Structure 1
């Protein structure tokens, strides 16, 4: 009986034996690495040339906002015309934008010029993570391996956020202030073009909708809008941690440990992601999302008051441990909320929301660090997660799978009712996974 239960839980080993998986996993990993290097490299370069964290945060935020606004449009085009058709020109524009941004920053160009270049640079950032998730969804369909793939992708994302900031910080502080962006551009060009060349694993081009069905925008699904708010709050944590840790370590005269502290935070995220994919969950993803998000909001509370580096590292680790469960369950919910022909767009809305939250937090935390104590920037993640949690709790009924009936309570609030609970347990059952 124990063996039968174990065999019913598809693990990472079984996932990685999926035919053709490695053809897009390896180039996809290389191509998504720059995503974790971009904003922190901009912050370090612009702060070096201007001496202001507020200015650096503004330029970084502009890049993130442009990324957030244009990424879903790129996802929609990828659903309609294919990933290669969107990725190749995007990579070339992004590399050109990085080159222009470096040149202007080192020339001490005015802020308006930096912002003008930051827009196309952010807008053209390749959305390789959502494209990889779309390839998994196309290859696995309704397989029990799909939630395992969601966990695996979250772990991969967080591993890039362990390596990327450390690498960018080391290059910017140890080699040249522009070295982080140069490396980002090289990896984007090489990894993006190599990933685009993997045509055999590309999802079928369906014109963005199923045959005979009207075209559906992912954002028209109310559950996606709720998830977008949740991911916006997660982006606030990323952006607030990046800028505030940079300001804090500069203030105490130890800028070299910035990447280490952020890497510890991201390592917690990665470890939690591994655990999430290795557990057989008895509760549905909606409930897990609410619990994980509540813990995340609580974990951000003491950040602003911590002044000792070891305690800050420990607190950052706890915050990281709380992020991965929320991310993984959010991505897993997309399968039950969104039609197949709009999933790349849905994934890019969520990724874009993270970038937008990251951008807003970078600006806010930078301004607070300039005006008050460096650690005051940690108030931004606290406020962002608290607001997002309130929205999640108020609109949790929107996260039920498509076709689930709603029950109106006497107070007028809608809930999933018996059908919703059963549907959520069904989705939760499909998330069972163990390490193979």
Structure 2
């Protein structure tokens, strides 16, 4: 029997937890396949960097190829989200995973054959463009389950947001370590081969879970009404006289995109810089472990955040935690110069701890301030921003590593997070509803509609 959206909201206690979240009707049917389908994404950048650097001997080329994949994903992710909102998740997922597996195979063959750099970049474009946006699709399913109940502000919605960030970060703990182990211990192309295989199998399995997918409809009709024919709050906010509301109409989303760009730059800069650092001290296999420690800090902080029922506004948390991310990232370059893997791992752990609150709070704000029928698109804008930041950082860090040295690549996370933090602070008013007392007005809407945040 298909789970009724909002059914879990009727039985939510005042103190939700992960166990209660996973007991939501229909949740496990998409949580497990969704985890399998998103695991390969964490392997892609590391696998490309290790393979291309091995075959070409250039970190600049390796970073450029990885950046091409990341840029392609960043530009096509919102398109994928829009298509999923309009035509349904399975209709988008199936062709995406098939194309991605074929593109990964082509990129691997070209790299091993010693193809020129332009050919590798050209193959990386469809590789990135076809990355299935499983994470945003899972978040959209959670929102669909909870948004139509009698009280859309169910505490489990925040728990679900934290759970998804924990799941993402767990993949970034396992993924880079697995990619590094396969590329250095089995074959330079083994990481990409495993990534393509897991994407194909996990994506098809997730696409088969159709009962929990959000409804689809033209012109934003999907998700506009809740149980009993009532309109949900986000559905009302998104109905511009019968037209589908673009996600970027929400004033908060561009600000969140800038913040997530900075987070992505930390991911990309750390992957390239940790790889170069490990080789510079004569321990190339250590890169995956160091990156895993960094991602473990993110994951553990996410677990803790999801267990707390926050009372303060989400906007305030983001404006407090993001500057902390800048402070911790500022020490990476200095510590790397000491050539101490233990010290760099410890500081990387602290950086990871600061990333989790920014990601979770950002997704919480997007979920509250974007119309429901455009929510998958909004989430893909955020994940696309992470990919864009990752792509820019891998390119910049690769050039710095090949120039001044291995430790210079760690300047990239500092510069990117500082720029994103300045943007966040300057435009912080956009993170609040346009009207006082919790209302938000989208351009083109006839009147303000209440929009609860957090």
CA contact (8 A) 1:83 1:196 kept: yes
- List alignment gaps of at least 5 residues for structure 1: 1-5, 408-422, 429-436
Matching of residue 323 in structure 1 with residue 355 in structure 2: yes
What residue is the counterpart of 1:292 in the other structure? 321
Is residue 103 from structure 1 mapped to residue 132 from structure 2 by the alignment? no
- 1:348 matched to 2:380? The reply is yes
Q: Secondary structure at the match of 1:390?
A: helix
2-structure distance, mates of 1:126, 1:404: 38
Task: Tell me the CA shift for residue 406 of structure 1.
Answer: 9.9
2:177 aligned with 1:160: no
Cα distance, 1:399–1:274 mapped onto 2, change above 3 Å: same
Q: What CA distance in whole angstroms lies between the structure 2 residues aligned with 1:83 and 1:137?
A: 14
Summarize the Cα distance change of 1:208–1:250 in structure 2 as closer, same or farther, 3 Å threshold. farther
Contact 1:166 1:260 in 2 (8 A): yes
TM-score (norm 2): 0.88
User: Aligned to 1:17, which of 9, 13, 23?
Assistant: 23
Indicate conservation of the 8 Å contact 1:38/1:184, yes or no.
Answer: yes
Structure 1 segment 363-382 matched on structure 2, within 5 A: 363-382=395-414
Which residue of the partner structure matches residue 180 of structure 1?
A: 191
Moved more, 9-18 or 177-186: 9-18
Residue 334 (structure 1) aligned to one of 366, 374, 398 = 366
When structure 1 is superposed on structure 2, of 329-338 and 199-208 the one drifting more is 199-208
2:453 maps to 427
- 3-state secondary structure, aligned to 1:427: coil
User: Which whole-Å CA distance do the structure 2 matches of 1:193 and 1:377 have between them?
Assistant: 37
Question: Where does the alignment leave 5 or more consecutive residues of structure 2 unmatched?
Answer: 1-11, 225-240, 440-449
1:196 and 2:202 correspond: no
CA distance in structure 2 between the aligned counterparts of 1:76 and 1:362, rounded to whole angstroms: 27
- Does the 8 A contact of 1:79 with 1:207 survive in 2? no
Aligned-partner Cα distance in 1 for 2:332–2:140: 36
C-alpha distance in 2 between matches for 1:257 and 1:379? 20
Q: 1:273 aligns with which of 302, 314, 327?
A: 302
Greater CA deviation, 132-141 or 276-285? 276-285
2-side partners of 1:330 and 1:245: how far apart?
26
1:17-416 equivalences under 5 Å are: 17-141=23-147, 142=152, 143-207=154-218, 209-210=220-221, 213-306=242-335, 307=338, 308-401=340-433, 404=436
TM superposition shift of 1:214:
1.9
Instruction: Tell me the distance in 2 between the aligned counterparts of 1:73 and 1:208.
Output: 16
- Distance in 2 of aligned mates of 1:384 and 1:334: 21
Whether the aligned pair in 2 keeps the contact of 1:208 and 1:341 (CA below 8 Å) is: no
User: Once the 2 structures are TM-superposed, how far is the Cα of residue 427 of structure 1 from its aligned partner?
Assistant: 2.9
Q: Deviations over 1:203-241 (max 9, x none)?
A: 000336146532211122221000000000000000000
- Give 1:3's aligned residue: none
* CA distance, structure 2, for counterparts of residue 62 and residue 403 of structure 1: 41
The SS at the match of 1:289 is: helix
8 Å contact kept, 1:36–1:165: yes
Given that residues 29 and 209 in structure 2 are in contact (C-alpha distance below 8 angstroms), is that contact kept between their aligned partners in structure 1? Answer: yes
- 8 A contact 2:155–2:309 mirrored in 1: no
* Deviation >2 Å, runs of 4+: 210-213, 401-407
Q: TM-score, normalised by structure 1?
A: 0.91
Label 1:50 to 1:208 Cα distance change in 2 as closer, same or farther (>3 A): farther
- CA 19–7 in structure 1, closer or farther in 2 if over 3 Å, else same: closer
Q: Distance between the aligned counterparts of 2:98 and 2:453, measured in 1?
A: 40
Please state how far the C-alpha of 1:8 moved relative to its aligned partner.
Answer: 1.0
Residues 94 and 121 of structure 1 are in contact (CA less than 8 Å); yes or no, is this contact kept in structure 2? yes
Cα distance, 1:140 vs structure 2: 1.3
Judged with a 3 Å threshold, the aligned counterparts in structure 2 of structure 1 residues 173 and 230 are, in CA distance, closer, same or farther, namely: same
